[in-house]
Amino acid sequence: WLRGLVADYGVPLMVLLWTAISYIPARDIPRGIPRRLFSPNPWSHGAYSNWMVIK
């Protein structure tokens, strides 16, 4: 049953865990764990300039 639980809920739980770790004050985070990453708005002008549709 544990294997099924991990298969069904492992990824969402890791996302929640990683998000919780990213909100810990910087001095308390173990070295090597990255902080929150910057992600540009995918709908902004120019964000889709590197995507190409082949017809």
* pLDDT score for 38: 66
Backbone angles phi, psi at 11, to 5 degrees: -65, -50
3-state secondary structure 14-43: HHHHHHHHHCCCHHHCCCCCCCCCCCCCCC
Separation CA 40–CA 12 (nearest Å): 22
Separation CA 13–CA 43 (nearest Å): 27
Separation CA 54–CA 18 (nearest Å): 37
Q: pLDDT tens, 11-38? A: 999 989 888 877 777 676 677 766 666 6
pLDDT of 54 strictly over 70: no
* pLDDT score for 36: 64
